Amino acid sequence: MRLRNIKGADERILADPYTIQTDGTDGADFKGRWNREYFHNDHPIHIEIGMGKGQFITTLAQQNPNINYIGIEKYSSVLIRAIDKREELALDNLLFMRMDAEEITDYFEPGEVGRIYLNFSDPWPKDRHAKRRLTSTTFLSRYDQILQRDGVVEFKTDNRPLFDFSLEQLQEVGWHADYVSYHLHENGPAADNIMTEYEQKFYALGNPICKFRAHR
């Protein structure tokens, strides 16, 4: 997908008080400090990796004020859209990070995260890029390091080959899927489901949306 460069995006992101800057920082400055120093409470921490324009996570934060949310996105041209949404809302339980998901274990300590959301992640269709997929065993091992003992990963995609691959990866590392759907909205919009921008588009086209919820 070609991302359109947005003039001034980097400068706005650097100035945004709700976006944690990671460039040139030591991850140890963040580990174990999110609640105490950034959210100033002891609420559960949930993160979305690859949050896109932020519709999903901003809606979650609005609906669940007693959960702390962190949206992670590496592309400035996309993150800036989430910042725009964030500025329209009076939320004290939502922060953003501009970083690559490969670095996630540098910024969260073991057991610090309660839930991880993965929505319409890049499928990396070539076999040689399989390890880059956010549901590969490589990434599942990273999630294993930061999730609480009863922590959960939720994944949604319209890409059936990626979904099948992801289920296989869960089995390979001994994770358990307690919910699996190959057509989440078969009978209309699923209850208690928050749609992303992509999901709304694909739903309107009648494309099946796949989802699983898994734990270790």
Structural domain total, the chain: 1
Question: Do residues 61 and 85 touch, judged by C-beta distance below 8 A?
Answer: no
Helical pair 160-172 and 137-146, crossing angle rounded to 10 deg: 60
Instruction: Work out the percent of the chain whose per-residue pLDDT is above 70.
Output: 96
**Does 50 map to a domain?**
yes
Which is the catalytic residue, given 84, 100, 122, 164? 122
Question: Could you tell me the CATH number of the domain that includes residue 140?
Answer: 3.40.50.150
Nearest Cα neighbor of 26 from 111, 138, 143, 106 is: 106
Name every residue whose Cβ is closer than 8 Å to that of residue 185 and which is 6 or more positions away in sequence. 193, 203, 208, 209
Question: Do residues 127 and 104 touch, judged by C-beta distance below 8 A?
Answer: no
**Does 125 map to a domain?**
yes
CA atoms of 204 and 155, how far apart (whole Å): 20
Q: pLDDT tens, 64-100? A: 999 999 999 998 888 998 988 888 887 999 999 999 9
**Does 122 map to a domain?**
yes
**Does 60 map to a domain?**
yes
Q: What is the pLDDT of residue 5?
A: 64
Please count the other Cβ atoms lying within 10 Å of the Cβ belonging to residue 47: 28
Structure tokens at 177: 């899927």
Q: pLDDT tens, 7-26? A: 677 888 888 888 988 877 78
Question: Do residues 88 and 62 touch, judged by C-beta distance below 8 A?
Answer: no
Q: Give residue 17's domain range.
A: 9-215
**Does 3 map to a domain?**
no
**Does 2 map to a domain?**
no
The phi and psi torsions of 122 (rounded to 5 degrees) equal -55, 125
Q: pLDDT tens, 186-214? A: 999 998 899 999 999 999 999 999 999 99
Reply yes or no on whether 122 is catalytic. yes
**Does 54 map to a domain?**
yes
Question: Is pTM, for the whole model, over 0.85?
Answer: yes
**Does 4 map to a domain?**
no
Instruction: Work out the percent of the chain whose per-residue pLDDT is above 90.
Output: 78
Nearest Cα neighbor of 82 from 72, 90, 92 is: 72
